[in-house]
Structure 1
Amino acid sequence: MAVPDNINSFEDLSALYSTWVVKYASPAYEHPLYLVWYTDTDEDQTDRLLSFRTGQIFASESLNSFKEIILAEKSNLVVFDNLHGWLENFDIWEPVKFYTYDVRFIINSVDQEDFNLNFFGDFVNLVNMYGDYINQDSRNSYLQVYADDELIRQVWNYFYDNIFWPGYSNNNNDEPFDIPPLDIDISLLAIKVKELIKMIEYNIKIVS
């Protein structure tokens, strides 16, 4: 097995093949799940989740057996260009997650009305991942209504308008910047967030 030049870690391998392991932790599951998120080699460099031909999202509870599980399911998966190279070198280093979608934290934050910077970042990343899944397959278009919900978009826009872009502009400045209060129906937002999460999990297929 030839290791590509300048690859010294699992993180390097993932960056080379634009293919990452992401962790999904939710109260719906006893154990966290592991998914594959990747940037395709198509003209638009579309971000996608490794999925079955049925459209369901591939997931496993075992990171230690991740490669073997993917290979066993390969004929049932939508195989992308970089998957082979990524898997070929997968066992050289201990696999590590690139990011954690902490759904437990998001749900608890909404229920407790505890909206800190970590919540907004995690919430927006989850919505963006949901959008990647919608856009990767025309069969998922029915899910768009949940992403387009007025309250979901309001929180999403609030993050970029008041936290992300101001923070980006303020990157070289240690001075804090003001964040306006979020004026929103919290109880209704909690319902909408849980609906979106439910639709993600409805489309996950766990294999072991």
Structure 2
Amino acid sequence: MGNWKHEHLSQEFVRYIDQGVVELSKRLHEEPALRSQLESVIQEQLSRSQMEAHDIEQGLSILTGPHIAQAVVASLRLLDTHEEIEELLEAGYDEQAVHFLRYLVARYGPVFKAFRRRVHYPLGWHKCSFAVTKPEYGGPYLNMKVLRNDDTPLVLEDDTESMVRLINLMLGALELVKDHDSLAEETLTEFAERTQKLINSAIERTMGGTNGTEH
């Protein structure tokens, strides 16, 4: 594999799936029926109400051996984008094997990830939407709907000031956790830019309102 110089996939991940992808390539050429057999095992495991990653890997291991099983499960768990899979092709892996992994990830990856979230982190969230409502009296209200991993909806609706206070309280809680290493730099940068924009807009409105009163 040499020195890994690609942008989207880590060298550790590729090393982890390397032997499995090589074996998958060989088996697909020798056993065309393996494609449908692999898919049937994944479908069966995903049809269960309480699904663990280990269940799929165990089933696939019986069918193909451990290396192919861990390559398939790792791909379902960790591959998210077209660019990531393209890098496997650029690294020289067999086109048929990579295209089959692409198909499995596209068809079963999102469902697999959703099941894992639901089982392991039911109180986490995976979807959030916003809407602005304008009552007959008073200012605009922000309606926020958060969908938990167990598909329970949580709905909040309040004025802008209350929502900002809620964000401030959440920031205080995050400071207590002190889990700074898990925070992505791009997320923090985006947060800082949006916060500064909100502050600037509020200051401009306040100063504008004051000047208007004086005149």
TM-score (structure 1 length as normaliser): 0.25
Whose Rg is larger? 2
TM-score, length basis structure 2: 0.25
Greater RCO (CA < 8 Å, at least 6 residues apart) = 1
